[in-house]
Amino acid sequence: MKKIAMMLLCLLLAISFSGCTKKAAVKNTIEGNMKTYYEMTDGTWMCEDRLYKYRLEIDGRMPNAAVDSSFVYLSNLEEITFDQAYQAAGISSNSDDYFSPDKAVLVEMN
């Protein structure tokens, strides 16, 4: 009888703790011109099933360009410079200049 009571107690504890973890829900869907991404209710961002801490809007002018460019990255890096942004957007021929998907993803470019 004690074994059954202990098993029931363990089962009840497991069920009660499983309800403690909350997943963030989608707050807003954004159709970027590069990728669709999501603002989550907990303040994070999601694209292609990856979570990112930051949404960075990076503006500037590329060398010899007539107009400014704008890049929007979802990122786990707190800061991305304009040089990093435009090179990782496809300008650079060096693959070391590109971000790995767990670091940052380009979702909009103008």
Q: List the chain domain ranges.
A: 22-109
CA distance 78 to 26: 22
pLDDT, one tens digit for every residue, the chain (110 residues): 655 555 544 444 454 444 445 678 999 999 999 999 999 999 999 999 999 999 999 999 998 999 999 999 999 999 999 999 999 999 899 999 999 999 999 999 99
Q: Give the residues across from 29 on adjacent strands.
A: 38
Q: Choose among 93, 87, 89, 86: nearest CA to 67.
A: 86
